[in-house]
Amino acid sequence: MKREKRLDHSFGIVEEKLSEAEFFLDSLRASGRLQPEPRYFFSAFVSAARSVTDAIRASLVDTPSFDAWYANAMGALTADPLTKHFAEIRNKVIHTGDNPLNRVPLEHLREDLARQQQKGPHSHVLVLPAGCQADGKTVLADAVEICTTYFISLVSLVYNCYLEFKTTVDPRWYYTKSNFTRRNLTLKDAVSELGFPPAWASCAPSEDAAWRVLRSQQPPCLLNGFFDRYLGQTIRDPDEDDEQGAGPN
């Protein structure tokens, strides 16, 4: 039986892209309207956020059943008009340098001035295109709120991906008896993968204890900070969940 590709921690690029996007989102939130930096932060946020799905695909493209999952997930994501909006923004930023942050047409000028008086110097706005509104009209929106909403949709996508492929992307879930048994492999195979003599598998007081030792050498889910902050959920550790699955606490 052909073995699946061994976990290589490549899902770390997804964590990196989420961290990058969050950094620029926080920077935008803290920046003043009259400074030049907000436009830089917004452009960088859009580019980093749009790279999250590319990072997911790059890290899991060789994983069985990933293509079907990815097609369904992206279909649901792109059905959201806000996702299409950010895709258009990214294309314009990259190909033409056009940056829509705080660019307000005359019909929204009065509303924008009122927002600035109400929210102060940190008020940033975007004009949503007609495609985002059922009545075909544009609307002036809080840029930070819109970016945050879009970012949360990406965090949710990553969370669902992690749940679906946790034995591939999470080293602690990879080294579980159920994962190796499913592939007709044993504890000795796991020990060998880590570079130890297969005979070491018999040194533990029990097989379950041996699996726990292997997992104790692996890092926990490094994305749980994002999942907790934005979704109120976390990926359970296999030793907390008795190898039955992962989900919200």
Q: Give per-residue pLDDT as tens, 198-237.
A: 888 888 789 999 999 999 989 989 999 999 999 999 999 9
Domain range list for the chain = 12-162, 167-228+237-241
**Helix and strand numbers, DSSP H then E, in the chain:** 13, 2
pLDDT, tens only, 105-127: 888 888 878 887 777 778 899 99
More confident residue, 107 or 244: 107
pLDDT of residue 247: 43
| Low-confidence winner among 5-9, 14-18, 166-170 (lowest mean pLDDT) | 5-9
Kindly state the average pLDDT of the residues 140-149: 93
Q: What is the DSSP letter of 133?
A: S
pLDDT of residue 183: 92
Kindly state the average pLDDT of the residues 147-154: 96
Quick check: helix, strand or coil at residue 102?
coil
Distance CA 234, CA 249 (A): 6
Distance CA 45, CA 17 (A): 10
pLDDT of residue 130: 57
100: Cβ–Cβ under 8 A, 6 or more apart, which residues?
A: 89, 92, 126, 127
More confident residue, 14 or 116: 14
162: Cβ–Cβ under 8 A, 6 or more apart, which residues?
A: 11, 169, 170, 221, 223, 227, 235, 246
Kindly state the average pLDDT of the residues 127-150: 78
Q: What is the DSSP letter of 218?
A: S
Distance CA 197, CA 103 (A): 64
8 pLDDT exceeds 50? Answer: no
Distance CA 168, CA 174 (A): 6
Yes or no: say if 123 and 102 are a contact pair by the CB < 8 Å rule: no
Distance CA 240, CA 249 (A): 11
Kindly state the average pLDDT of the residues 11-27: 96
Burial class (CB in 10 A: 0-12, 13-18, 19+), 179: buried
| Low-confidence winner among 1-10, 106-115, 132-141, 207-216 (lowest mean pLDDT) | 1-10
